[in-house]
Amino acid sequence: MNIGFIGLGIMGKPMSINLLKNKQNVFISSSNDDTNDELANYGATILADYEAVAEQSEVIILMLPDSKEVREVVIESGLYKKFNPGTIVVDMSSINPETSKEVFNTINKDGHQYIDAPVSGGEEKAIDGTLSVMAGGDPDAFNKIKPILQYMGASIVHTGPVGSGNSVKLVNQVIVANNIAALAEGVTLAKELNLDLDTVYNAISGGLAGSTAMDAKFKKMAEKEYEPGFKMKLHMKDLNNAFGSVDRDFSKNIPITDQTKKIMSELLEDERVNEDDHSALFKYYTNKKDNRQ
């Protein structure tokens, strides 16, 4: 099966590499020459533009930053008019569920299918090919592309109709955000008690406090190194989508998430934090300590 891959950033590039390692035919067009060269070494076919990618593909995977870019790439550019008959778009971007439905309604008129299949696990699991994938869309189309998803993910769940994948992802992002906030407060308390952070991690990570978030983010907080596996600005986008998908008054029903969102928003007033990993939420607590001294 010929696969076009659009969106070769922190997540998309290792995901496409896993497809190539599993002998899939992958077509790309990146504005980054280094990315083109790297993926060509794995066997990717490099083309001039997205239209050429679409013309070669039976399945097109998207891994774009937000709803606006998905809409621009697929609809506003007219790319969908270049699709081959029966093309399946597998949108692995984390976007607003309503945008997923909009794209589906646009391309389905011409006989194309759309699966919204956002992922969780960050760069580490993208590299390992062990992402969690939440996929919404036509069951037959899902079953057709599921073997492709299995090259990139360890958990592949069909969540229901189009839009449900991104709705489940919003639930995921609320839980992850609050896990990171709780972890940041735990690390803050450990430092206040003058505990050795490696010892704290070894003592508690195997118990009820342990989590994937702890395994991935504890060291980043302890070392104050925030090279992004998932950028805070993108997590903020997800929380905005979560709150934007429900009634305005709903925030009072999820007050912990509302507070976490406010903390992220305050941190993102510093433009440098936009490019940090979302574990940089810990900066909120270190800033508070610095202000007390």
Kindly tell me the burial class for residue 141, based on how many C-beta atoms sit within 10 Å of its own C-beta (0-12, 13-18, 19 or more).
Answer: buried
Distance CA 114, CA 105 (A): 9
CATH of the domain at 212: 1.10.1040.10
Domain residues for the domain of 272 are: 167-292
What pLDDT is attached to residue 126?
A: 97
How much of the chain, in percent, has pLDDT values that exceed 90?
Answer: 95
Same domain, 49 and 15: yes
What pLDDT is attached to residue 248?
A: 84
At residue 76, does pLDDT exceed 80? Answer: yes
What pLDDT is attached to residue 251?
A: 85
Contact 56, 28 (CB under 8 A): no
What pLDDT is attached to residue 186?
A: 98
What pLDDT is attached to residue 291?
A: 59
At residue 293, does pLDDT exceed 90? Answer: no
Query: What HEC string does the chain produce?
Result: CEEEEECCCCCHHHHHHHHHHCCCEEEECCCCHHHHHHHHHHCCEECCCHHHHHHHCCEEEECCCCHHHHHHHHHHCCHHHHCCCCCEEEECCCCCHHHHHHHHHHHHCCCCEEEECCEECHHHHHHHCCEEEEEECCHHHHHHHHHHHCCCEEEEEEEECCCHHHHHHHHHHHHHHHHHHHHHHHHHHHHHCCCCHHHHHHHHCCCCCCCHHHHHHHHHHHHCCCCCCCEHHHHHHHHHHHHHCCCHHHHHHCHHHHHHHHHHHHHCCCHHHHHCEHHHHHHHHHHHHHHHC
What pLDDT is attached to residue 159?
A: 98
- Calculate mean pLDDT across residues 108-136: 96
Domain boundary (135, 161, 187) is at 161
Q: What are phi and psi of 108, to 5 degrees?
A: -70, -25
At residue 277, does pLDDT exceed 90? Answer: yes
Number of domains forming the structure of the chain:
2
What pLDDT is attached to residue 156?
A: 98
At residue 276, does pLDDT exceed 60? Answer: yes
Same domain, 180 and 283: yes
Give Cα separations from 271 to 96, 174, 233, 276 (angstroms). Answer: 24, 23, 10, 10
Cβ neighbours for 79, distance < 8 A, ≥ 6 positions apart: 50, 51, 54, 73
Same domain, 7 and 137: yes
**pLDDT higher for 113 or 248?**
113
Same domain, 93 and 108: yes
Same domain, 99 and 188: no
Domain boundary (137, 161, 185) is at 161
225 residue type, one letter:
E
Q: What is the pTM of this model?
A: 0.91
Domain boundary (138, 161, 184) is at 161
At residue 5, does pLDDT exceed 70? Answer: yes
Distance CA 279, CA 226 (A): 7
CA 291 and chain centroid, separation: 34
At residue 292, does pLDDT exceed 60? Answer: no
Same domain, 91 and 190: no
Same domain, 49 and 129: yes
Q: What are phi and psi of 31, to 5 degrees?
A: -75, -10
Same domain, 61 and 154: yes
What pLDDT is attached to residue 249?
A: 86
Same domain, 219 and 106: no
Cβ neighbours for 261, distance < 8 A, ≥ 6 positions apart: 177, 236, 239, 240, 243
Same domain, 157 and 171: no
Same domain, 214 and 236: yes
Asked about 144 being catalytic, the answer comes back as: no
Same domain, 130 and 40: yes
CATH of the domain at 94: 3.40.50.720
What pLDDT is attached to residue 289?
A: 63
Catalytic residue among 21, 68, 109, 169, which? 169
- Of 82-96, 163-177, 236-250, least confident by mean pLDDT is 236-250
Cβ neighbours for 175, distance < 8 A, ≥ 6 positions apart: none
Distance CA 216, CA 123 (A): 10
pLDDT, tens digit, 9 for 90 and up, residues 201-243: 999 999 999 999 999 999 999 999 999 999 999 999 999 999 9
What pLDDT is attached to residue 108?
A: 97
Kindly report the number of other CB atoms within 10 A of residue 287's CB atom. 13
